[in-house]
Structure 1
Amino acid sequence: FRLVSTTGEEDQIWVGDYREDKRQILNLFNRLTRQVADEVMIELTPEEERLLSISKTVDREAYDAYLKSSYLLDDGSKESLYEVLVYLKCAVEKDPDWAPLYSGLTIVWLSISQMGHEPPEITGPKIFANRNKALELDPDLADIHHADAMIAYLREWNWEKSEKEFLKAIAINPNNAGSRVLYAQLLGILQRPGEALTQGQLAIELDPLNLLVQVLYGGVLMEIGDFETALAYGEKVTAVDPGHLAANSLIVAAAFGCGDYNKVMEAAKYAFAKKVDFKEVERIYGETGFVAAQEEILRQKEVLAQKGYVPAVGMAVRYMMVDQPDKAMEWLEKGFEVREQGMPYIATHGFLCEPLFDNPRFIEIIQKMNLPLPNN
């Protein structure tokens, strides 16, 4: 390990060579943190000293599986997220008392629900069971507070609790870009755009190559109505990974906001390919145009909705794209009834619901959710 100065010339401040059993990796991280703090003369708080003094070991195979699961989490596809579940469940078998595995499972089930892969009644019990187990094992873990913050705003619609939990997570680990960018999304939901941008930009600075952080920051930009920059972030990700589901979903909405229907259709090919007959959609787009193509997507999804779960908020957004606000409201009311995770975002610019902002039915939902009314 090397510690270097990044101001002026790159001067080496400290170097250390460590050979540790992988089971001691967490204790090594704590020891390194103390040594770095000493070298740069940072005084640790009593709480930081307490956390760093806690000795923890982890099973080697469980740790490897945990790292692999983290790598697969970012694109949001059903296949990737279920592969993450496999890794984490295998890790739990190896080390059932390691709290990060359960906070990881909590985040994965939240992601599965957020991406519309499973309905809330399936994901909800798994989210809370894993969250409770993680909290039981290690209440000081930053990831637990991160997960609690996500649960509070995505499932419980408890905005005050969510902000407190995000701030706890950031206080424990201020370099966690994921916590900062999701906190930024919460701030956008709460109509605090300046603070949202500050936290989102910090997240990008902390982890500029993380594809998921870039997509989530694109979501922050969508919330405040900066479709052009959001589109650029989505395209930056798809330049690296063309099939990135979350990035293509971002591009669909951002490109629509920019009026670039060709880009909407190109991204939709990846975002909806496994859910609709996209060749038929493309044929209609070529012959009749954008609105007719979107109506075909909606027709196919309405058929799917008769057989199983289709995310309500996504349907509402599609109906707004074809200027059918009454149908959009019907789906938003369905989303409200099942507490769908996309609902907290509907009063931001990113979900294309601006024409509904003065609709009494829409306002009633926003008030029931205790959200601030959007600034037109």
Structure 2
Amino acid sequence: MSADPEHEYFADGITEEIIDALAQIQELHVVARSSAFSFKGKHIDLRIVGEQLNVRTVLEGSVRRADNRLRITAQLVSAVDGYHLWSEHYDRELKDVFAIQEEIAQAIVQRLKISFPWGTKNLVSPRTPNLEAYESYLKGHALLYKRGPAITRALACCQRAVDLDPDYALAWAGLADSYTTLCWYGFVDPRSFMPKGIEAARHAVALDSSLAEAHCALALAALIGAWNTAEAEREFLCALQLNPKYIPALCWYGILYLQYSEGRLAEGMEQARLALTADPLSAYAHAIYALTCIVAGKTGEGMEVSRRAVQLDPESWLANGVLQAALLVNGQFEASVAAGEATLAMSGRHPWPMAWLVVALAEWGKATEADAVYGEMQARVRREYVTPTVLSIAACAVAREDEAIRYAREAYEIRDPNYLQLSRYFPMASRLYRYPRFCEIIAQMGRSEWLQDRPPLTASQEPRAQE
């Protein structure tokens, strides 16, 4: 409710920290950030909120900030009958922000008559004494959720936070995630950025080994940066032991490690399903679960869930891209092409949906159109970084075997974080395994297990003859 719209990220950060504090209590089912935030700023009957989130009580409130003063109101309301169970307002200085969060969390514990086993231990732990660093981290964290070009701004905010407080482990984890997600989405060349992400993640864990965020950041960096699957699994499991409902860990562990890397398809689906249970109105959680369904061969369910993801957030290019992929693997090529064009428009023509569009057009028999899109991808290589993994998949779709092999070899040589999309478990990569030279590269990657027990390809998946 502050006059400065920049303060919104500050209010969001306070909200998320209270969510995280309450989620530590095993007797409470607390809905995760994205689902809770879907009602932000909306005047909706709390009975509807309770039904959609499957909760009995709702914590709502507001934050107003003026200079170094805070006014925070909070009220706990029954979603069944609208009865106010508790309410309070706090007029404090900005430096008291952590104490206010603790008071709110403790008041709810007491009002719901929940036994709290840790005695005098606080639910909210101040991670930094530097309020300027705290604010910079909160802004970076909020920007990181937006993905796309916002990740670069998130990186700058997290970098400023660690510059202000070099011992701020949570900000180091945010910095690591900013570096690794920039590389994962193919916005930057990993050779320049990924080593910094790995270093930041290791530093975060060294500073505070009790942080699930730090272990998850290291798990992702180890998996897509260092290509160290043993360390990745160990760190993912550590993160989930510390916080079993940490959405990024559930999603990344499920889709990237269990499915793409290890081929443990059912287990990957289960992890993504847990994320969906914790965050039932999240378009991201729906999109990831849909993708795990597609990879596991549950294509009908994948299409249904991906449509729900798009309904929840029509502007999410990730959700639209997963729907594009679901339609493709279901053989609905015309619909996949239409979804792909929409995804390209909202993603700034990101290489992932562009490559899937090439595959769909080729499968549909639109060779000229597929070649044209692939030509656009090649033209971009001459002026900017494009992840070689998706170039390899697109080249294969239009029967450019030599180019497909060249890009796959480049992916290996630069340690492309997207290399997991060359896994035999990723549907778009299945054509490539018909090429003996590609299989040699996979063996050089140290992923010989991807060469074993490949599922049979359909006739339409046979590579076209070299033109």
Whether TM-score is above 0.5 comes out as yes
| SS of aligned partner of 1:357 | helix
| Structure 1 position 270 matched with structure 2 position 349 | no
Structure 2 residue 237 is the aligned partner of structure 1 residue 161: no
Q: CA deviation at 1:197?
A: 1.0
Give the deviation of 1:49 after TM superposition: 9.3
Q: Which moved more, 1:84-93 or 1:145-154?
A: 84-93
Query: Higher strand proportion, which one?
Result: 2
Counterparts of 2:234 and 2:309 in 1: how far apart (Å)?
31
Give the CA RMSD over aligned residues: 3.9
TM-score by length of 2: 0.66
Q: 1:142 matched to which residue of 2?
A: 212
Secondary structure of the corresponding residue to residue 301 of structure 1:
helix
Query: Secondary structure at 1:69's aligned position in 2?
Result: helix
How many Å separate the matches in 2 of 1:16 and 1:300? 58
Give the partner amino acid of 1:291. A
The answer to whether structure 1 residue 291 and structure 2 residue 367 are counterparts is: yes
**CA shift digits 1:167-206 (9 cap, x unpaired):** 1001111121111111101100201111111111001111
The residue matched to 1:209 in structure 2 has which SS? coil
Structure 2: gaps spanning 5 or more residues: 1-17, 30-54, 58-77, 456-467
Q: Which residue identity does 1:63 align to in structure 2?
A: Y
Shift of 1:26: 5.2
CA deviation after TM superposition for structure 1 residue 231, in Å: 4.0
State which of 187, 205, 213 in structure 1 corresponds to 2:258: 187
Q: Secondary structure at the match of 2:232?
A: helix
**Which whole-Å CA distance do the structure 1 matches of 2:146 and 2:291 have between them?**
14
Match of 2:296 in 1: 224
Of residues 204, 213, 221 in structure 1, which corresponds to 2:276? 204
Deviation at 1:81, TM superposition (A): 1.2
CA contact (8 A) 1:66 1:91 kept: yes
Q: Aligned AA for 1:87?
A: C
SS of the residue corresponding to residue 426 of structure 2 reads helix
Tell me if the contact between 1:223 and 1:348 (Cα under 8 Å) persists in the aligned partners. Answer: no
Asked whether the equivalents of residues 179 and 193 of structure 2 are also in contact (C-alpha less than 8 Å), the reply is yes
List per-residue Cα deviations over 1:282-337 (Å, max 9, x = no partner): xxx8xx97432231121122122233321111112223443545533332221111
CA distance in 2, matches of 1:164, 1:271: 33
Cα distance between partner residues in 2 of 1:4 and 1:161: 32
- Higher relative CO (Cα under 8 Å, sequence separation at least 6) belongs to 1
Alignment of structure 1 residues 94-105 onto 2, 5 Å: 94-105=164-175
CA change 1:236–1:67 in 2 (3 A) is: farther
Superposition map of 1:54-93 within 5 A: 56-77=127-148, 79-93=149-163
1:329 matched to 2:405? The reply is: yes
SS of residue paired to 2:382: helix
Cα deviation for residue 166 of structure 1 reads 0.5
> Which secondary structure does the structure 2 equivalent of 1:183 belong to?
helix
Amino acid at match of 2:266: G
Residue 301 in structure 1 maps to residue 301 in structure 2: no
The 8 Å contact of residues 219 and 350 in structure 1, kept in 2 or not, is answered as: no
Change (3 A) 1:58 1:245: farther
Q: Which residue of 2 aligns with 1:345?
A: 421
Unaligned 5+ runs, structure 1? none
Check if 1:311 corresponds to 2:383: no
Q: Identify if the C-alpha distance between structure 1 residues 35 and 316 changes in structure 2 by more than 3 Å, giving closer, same or farther.
A: same
- The 8 Å contact of residues 98 and 124 in structure 2, kept in 1 or not, is answered as no
Amino acid at match of 2:420: P
The CA distance in 1 between the partners of 2:372 and 2:366, in whole Å, is 10
Seq. identity, %: 21
Larger radius of gyration: 2
Q: Deviations over 1:245-285 (max 9, x none)?
A: 3334333433322333332333233345378xx9xx9xxx8
Q: Alpha-carbon deviations, 1:28-62, whole Å to 9, x = none?
A: 76784899499544656xxx998979764444443
Contact 2:133/2:164 (CA < 8 Å) preserved in 1? yes
Higher deviation after alignment, 179-188 or 203-212: 203-212
| TM-score, normalised relative to structure 1 | 0.80
**Greater helix share, 1 or 2?**
1
Is the contact between residue 397 and residue 431 of structure 2 (CA under 8 Å) also seen in structure 1?
A: no
The more displaced of 98-107 and 311-320 is 311-320
Give 1:151 shift: 1.2
Question: Does residue 106 in structure 1 map to residue 176 in structure 2?
Answer: yes
1:208 maps to a residue whose letter is P
2:186 is aligned to 116
